[in-house]
Structure 1
Amino acid sequence: MGSWEDFYASHLPPTDFEDNRQLLKQFCEHHIKDENQNIVLVTSGGTIAPLEHNTVRFVDNFSAGSRGSSSAEYFLQNNYAVIFLFRTKSLEPFTRHFSGQQFLDMLEISDNNENSNINVRPDSVDVLLPILTKYKTAQESNRLLYINFTSVSDYLWLLRAACEALAPFERRALLYLAAAVSDFYVPQDDMPKHKIQSGATPKISLQLVPKILKPLVSTWVPNAFVVSFKLETDDSLLIAKSRESLMKYNHKLVIANILQTRRHRVVLVTPTTSEEILMTKEQAHSGLEIEEPIVSEVCKRHEEFLAGAEQ
């Protein structure tokens, strides 16, 4: 595995990188003026590792973005300014509540001879109105910034840029790293320029993506409250693997979950404690999402972290 410096040196930033960096800078400069405003970077969705420069085929680290998109909404409810760094076409805050057909079914067309109008069906107003109100509030208060990525290279460039913009917030910055980042990539020098032909038998040499938590915690945002996620399939490894990560990278919290039960059980792990958040079937049926208590607990711990600095 090469170093993170080598990765950046050998991979070009995304074509819209400078525009996005400027958006990140402006968003952070706007909110840092308020000394009571906390800010969170939520990363969400999976990344692809292209197999060709003109990408047709790729290795995909799939994630629908459910946890990240829902968590972003709950951070807004907890009065955070939110940078939502997400995979293109993965779930987004607010629109995640509606599939394409479901949303269209909520609308109706009315004609009055000269003009056609689109209205929300009366039986759908109670569903759409509270979500639309929250979205409009976030937009009008400039507390939600969307930045999208596709490849693992795009993600790493934008993650570093976001950290640079967040660094002046120091302890008021929270990083909630929920994206499913590719573990492997094909070095750009090893990629064919054009599409790999279907009749060929490709030989693909994958390299490990450098672990970016190390420079992020130690150098880019050394004073921030950094939360990572750990997904396992073997429950007996969950706590040990989480603590191993905490000891290695020295961040504040790991949210650990098992693949099969991640929708209703997580464990919040620190170097010395572990606290389970478990959602019952009754709570799930009532509409509660596990991200609500997760985010509530993360915000509480961030506040304790800030209070500790004041003592």
Structure 2
Amino acid sequence: MLSDIPSETPPENLAALAEDHYFAANPPPKNLERHVALAREFIAHHSAAGRRLVLVTSGGTTVPLEKQTVRFIDNFSAGTRGATSAEYFLEAGYAVLFLHRQFSLLPFSRHYSHATDCFLDFLREGPNGSVVARDEDAAKMLHVLRKYRDARDSNMLLLLPFVSISDYLHELRSVAQLMRPLGPRGLLYLAAAVSDFFVPPDRMSEHKIQSTNAVEAFKKSSIAAAQPITEEEEAFDNFDSSPAVPRSKSLLIDLDPVPKFLKNLVEGWSPQGMIVSFKLETDPAILVHKARYSLDRYQHHLVIGNLLSTRKWEVVFVSPGNPDRWIRVPFRTDGGESNPPVAKTETDEPVDPKSLPEGEPEVEIESQIIPAVQDLHTKYIQTVMEKAGR
């Protein structure tokens, strides 16, 4: 545990020790070796071609409460930002290694999964028992299908799933280290919603956490096996709104902070890659401050700040040596219908959510984020090359 690190440890060694402690205490996912082999082959292929490659992390991370996990803590992320960004990176010519939460949104299929309509609603029965897209959806579906097939058939997209916070960090470290041969052509776009807290394995229950004391009573009884089940022992039923015996247990969860490995990523795992992180807040008064603090603390290359209520409408780029840059999708500011929508760009403050139109933006903000990231990546590559005398 981190508390075991001696207090006299020099600051420059703390990050390495925290890394050693965390990864030694939290076992890797069972499929890590297979994922590493796939990622190594994918990265080597594009490195040999001199192509830019981006690692996009996406979706939330679970925090298991039991080793045989029944209960876990989660966050709201469905992976929209990551999945959408991956498509625009592909359009920009990047190879995309997509490290995503299992069952979160994926590039291309996102257009039809997690939707209000069931996927089957987009289909109908065609001639001779065939299955075809509905006429009104066929053109868009064909367009999305062609893009997906092109990305997969040309080996430009690799999908690697994870589930828990521990899985994610093991996968991230392994893939980031594999990206070293790419040098500055490697881009790490960390859009996953990473948990800030976790339960260390040595404090984790082996089995499902029980909601009553019935099991403890059963175990303590030396003749329990020979006795019939009593009314008290039947107080398990979660669907009984008024049990004869009231519930007798509450659940207190003692969480530890997840070590911040962004410093390790910058200085050790992928020291030449350009690193982009995200900062999500709900308080507009602290958004830019928190983004700037993260940038100064970890010394990476770009923080993209966004507010929960306006994240699909605007983001702010915070990067070293540059003024804060707000990126917004076009929207009407006057309620008019005849004039084209305009982006409110004259302010360097977060937009008031009340001023935004109802519903979704007509333009995906990732269509503007990714070209801006690409421009910064181009400048970064040039700077690194110049310093190396190339």
TM-score category (smaller protein): over 0.9
Tell me which residue corresponds to 1:308. Answer: 383
Which digits, 9 at most, give the CA deviation of each residue in 1:48-106, with x for residues without a partner?
11000000011112301110000000000000000111111111110111136443222
Q: CA RMSD in A?
A: 1.6
In 1, Cα distance between equivalents of 2:111 and 2:133: 16
Tell me which residue corresponds to 1:274. Answer: 324
Q: Which moved more, 1:147-156 or 1:286-295?
A: 286-295
Higher helix fraction: Structure 1 or Structure 2?
A: 1
Tell me which residue corresponds to 1:201. Answer: 250
Q: Residue 275 of structure 1 aligns to which amino acid in structure 2?
A: R
Q: Which moved more, 1:48-57 or 1:94-103?
A: 94-103
Tell me which residue corresponds to 1:255. Answer: 304
Tell me which residue corresponds to 1:17. Answer: 32
Comparing both chains, which one has the higher relative contact order based on Cα–Cα distances under 8 Å and sequence gaps of 6 or more? 1
1:92-171 to 2 correspondences below 5 Å? 92-99=106-113, 101-110=117-126, 112=128, 116-171=129-184
Q: Residue 270 of structure 1 aligns to which amino acid in structure 2?
A: S
Alpha-carbon contact 2:65-2:204 (below 8 Å) kept: yes
In 1, Cα distance between equivalents of 2:274 and 2:316: 18
Choose which of 86, 90, 100 in structure 2 pairs with 1:86.
100
Q: Which runs of 5+ in 2 are unaligned?
A: 3-17, 213-248, 332-340, 343-358
Instruction: Name the SS for the 2:303 alignment partner.
Output: strand
Alignment: residue pair count: 307
Q: 1:234 offset after TM fit, Å?
A: 2.0
In 2, Cα distance between equivalents of 1:288 and 1:102: 24
Q: 1:181 offset after TM fit, Å?
A: 0.4
Q: 1:278 offset after TM fit, Å?
A: 1.2
In 2, Cα distance between equivalents of 1:242 and 1:255: 7
Tell me which residue corresponds to 2:275. Answer: 226
* Cα distance change, pair 125–293 in 1 and its aligned pair in 2 (3 A): same
Tell me which residue corresponds to 1:40. Answer: 54
Alpha-carbon contact 2:313-2:361 (below 8 Å) kept: no
Tell me which residue corresponds to 2:293. Answer: 244
In 1, Cα distance between equivalents of 2:164 and 2:373: 28
- Between the aligned residues of both structures, percent identity stands at 46
In 1, Cα distance between equivalents of 2:135 and 2:75: 40
Q: Residue 365 of structure 2 aligns to which amino acid in structure 1?
A: I
In 2, Cα distance between equivalents of 1:286 and 1:159: 32
Q: Which runs of 5+ in 1 are unaligned?
A: none
Instruction: Name the SS for the 2:22 alignment partner.
Output: helix
Q: Residue 228 of structure 1 aligns to which amino acid in structure 2?
A: S
Normalized against structure 2, the TM-score is what? Answer: 0.76
Which digits, 9 at most, give the CA deviation of each residue in 1:145-172, with x for residues without a partner?
0001110000000001111211110100
Choose which of 153, 159, 179 in structure 1 pairs with 2:192.
179
Q: Residue 363 of structure 2 aligns to which amino acid in structure 1?
A: L
Normalized against structure 1, the TM-score is what? Answer: 0.94
Alpha-carbon contact 2:312-2:361 (below 8 Å) kept: no
Which digits, 9 at most, give the CA deviation of each residue in 1:8-38, with x for residues without a partner?
0001111111111111111111111112x10
Q: Residue 33 of structure 1 aligns to which amino acid in structure 2?
A: A
Alpha-carbon contact 2:60-2:194 (below 8 Å) kept: yes
Tell me which residue corresponds to 2:349. Answer: none
Choose which of 44, 57, 69 in structure 2 pairs with 1:55.
69
In 2, Cα distance between equivalents of 1:108 and 1:277: 40
Q: Residue 299 of structure 2 aligns to which amino acid in structure 1?
A: N
Instruction: Name the SS for the 1:236 alignment partner.
Output: coil
* Cα distance change, pair 214–310 in 1 and its aligned pair in 2 (3 A): closer
Residue 7 (structure 1) aligned with residue 57 (structure 2): no
Q: Which moved more, 1:296-305 or 1:100-109?
A: 100-109
Q: 1:308 offset after TM fit, Å?
A: 2.0
